[in-house]
Amino acid sequence: MTTRGQRATFVRRDSPEAIYTAMTRYSAIILAAGKGTRMKSHLCKVLHPIAGKPMILYVIDAVRSAGIEKLVVVTGHQADHVRRCLDQDKVECVIQEPQLGTGHAVAAAKGSFSDFRGHVLILCGDTPLIEPQTITDLMGFHGGANSRLTVLTMVLEDPTGYGRIVRDETGRVSRIVEERDADDEEKRIREVNTGIYVADCGLLFSLIEAIRPENAQGEYYLTDMAAEAVRRQIPVHGCVLRESLLAMGVNTRIDLAEASREIWSRRRRRLMLGGVTLLDPESVFVDNEVEVAPDTVIHHTVTLAGKTRIGRDCVIEPGVFIRDSLIGDRVNVLLGSRLDCAVVEDGTSVGPMAHLRPEARIGKNARIGNFVEVKKSVVGDGTKAAHLTYLGDSTIGSDVNIGCGTITCNYDGKKKHRTVIHDGCFIGSDVQFIAPVEIGEGSLIGAGSTITRNVPPGTLAVSRARQKEYPLRRGQGPKPSDEDKKP
Ligand code: UD1
Ligand code: CA
């Protein structure tokens, strides 16, 4: 085996490679038509999310950040679904139908390049760890070597599953052999194909035309373009990527977990460098679009998902799950709470064990305490619901005190109804509001009341049966049960 090929090196801006890169037009094809059989999923592979973002979008973002404007995505399996998740204005989609292999997929993009003169990068939609710098370096290498076809390779301890790079005695690539078609000696080669290539556009499509499906899978292998180029005496360059993780391909759920681990780790590093304290980084999972402001402290086992935004000086305690929510500054989200599409303004405390469901909007300096559930409700500034409460379909003013065990009875079995409680009310413990019902400003509701009618402002409302006392005769009082008598 030989891996004597040229290595990817950092390209200086004023180097001949960089100048060549700047002068040459580059475009890209991203292959995303396959089903991803090894994922064993109803969802096509490239749409599987990593940290809340479909895998293929990582590849597209990296290509864009490397400065490439013309980008063609080859879709096939669940094409509509893939197309919907791409930014249609900027990405051109073509269809490969049926899907007869990676070479066949590139051929499906040919029509989009009829007027293009330059070089084409080819990437797979299942390499989410790729970084813009790797793409820039590859283009620099390709230009520097005056190459017409370059394969990005990597050297792995365990090359299982990847196509192997066979080099000739001069160090040039002579062919790429898929694992299924490799003999024992070839299987021992540890330099593998990343599935990322750069080629002169005209040459690329002419090589593709010569590919035949003569292999173990009966597919048109893109990898066969290497041997075809060599047959035409066109040298094929192999550029070795030093950090192999960056080009890992996701084929199975095990690969998905490995790629996710790396992306989450990048997210944590970015947060910490941005001034956020993570007490136990490894156990904090932060999706791609989440933003957290400096000086917020995140304890262990916290998940921040979707488009969540968290302000400054917040404390997020263990076991908290927050999705698509907006959290202001100086907010404490205490142990074991779940917030889903909720808004919590500055200085408020939520939890422990609170549940903010969609459309819960909690104002400033408020308190939503333990075992409190809030759904589709606005809770005003300074209002407190500290214990064991359900607030659903309600509007609660500011500086309201909601006693322990209060429930808005919002559902009559057919429809949901609203409860409105105006500013400054005091609601005793264990009150039920039979909605629709409205409580005027500054009113007081006695503990244990079931409120079925509107209450005017500044009113005391109590609705509970008067207590009576009946003396017990001898022998009528409570007796210990047989169960209690057991030692
Ligand atoms: C491919 C390479 C292999 C390389 C590996 C790197 C081939 C034949 N093999 O293998 O040498 O080591 O990538 O990760 O190219 N696709 C289509 N249309 C198709 C088939 C696939 O668009 O008809 C797309 C898939 O959606 C995927 C990409 O091409 O994004 C790669 O396909 P995959 O089946 O994962 O190829 P590998 O077996 O990993
Ligand atoms: Ca793959």
Domain boundaries, given as residue ranges, for the chain: 6-253, 267-461
Looking from the CA of residue 30, the nearest atom of ligand 1 is: 30
The CATH class of the 6-253 domain is alpha beta
Q: Is the CB of 197 under 6 A from ligand 1?
A: no
Length of the chain: 487
Has residue 5 got a pLDDT over 50? no
Q: Is the CB of 32 under 6 A from ligand 1?
A: yes
pLDDT tens-digit map of 42-55: 999 999 999 999 99
pLDDT tens-digit map of 113-166: 999 999 999 999 999 999 999 999 999 999 999 999 999 999 999 999 999 999
Task: From 462, 412, 401, select the one nearest 435 (Cα to Cα).
Answer: 412
- Which residue lies with its CA nearest to atom 8 of ligand 1? 221
Q: Strand runs (DSSP E) across 221-356, as ranges?
A: 237-241, 277-278, 284-286, 291-292, 297-298, 302-305, 309-310, 315-316, 321-323, 326-327, 332-333, 338-340, 343-344, 349-350, 355-356
Q: Is the CB of 147 under 6 A from ligand 1?
A: no
**How far is the C-alpha of 377 from the C-alpha of 360, rounded, in Å?**
5
Q: In Å, what is the CA distance from 21 to each residue of 5, 7, 28, 119, 138? A: 21, 17, 14, 10, 10
Give the ligand with the smallest distance to the CA of 102: 1
Looking from the CA of residue 75, the nearest atom of ligand 1 is: 22
Q: In Å, what is the CA distance from 476 to each residue of 394, 400, 467, 480, 481? A: 45, 44, 20, 12, 14
Looking from the CA of residue 176, the nearest atom of ligand 1 is: 11
Pairing outcome for strands 377-379 and 309-310: unpaired
Residue 81 C-alpha to ligand 1 middle, in angstroms?
20
pLDDT tens-digit map of 181-230: 999 999 999 999 999 999 999 999 999 999 999 999 999 999 999 999 99
pLDDT tens-digit map of 54-66: 999 999 999 999 9
Has residue 259 got a pLDDT over 60? yes
Q: Are 25 and 119 in contact (CB under 8 A)?
A: yes
**How far is the C-alpha of 95 from the C-alpha of 80, rounded, in Å?**
10
The CATH class of the 267-461 domain is mainly beta
Catalytic positions: 387
Give the ligand with the smallest distance to the CA of 255: 2
Residue 143 C-alpha to ligand 2 middle, in angstroms?
26
Cβ-based neighbour number of residue 475 at 10 Å: 6
Has residue 17 got a pLDDT over 70? no
Give the model's pLDDT for residue 10.
Answer: 52
- Which residue lies with its CA nearest to atom 35 of ligand 1? 251
Query: What is the pTM for the complete model shown?
Result: 0.91
Find the helix or strand (DSSP H, E) in which 16 lies: helix 16-23
- pLDDT band of residue 479 (cuts 50, 70, 90) is confident
Residue 10 C-alpha to ligand 1 middle, in angstroms?
27
Residue 148 C-alpha to ligand 1 middle, in angstroms?
22
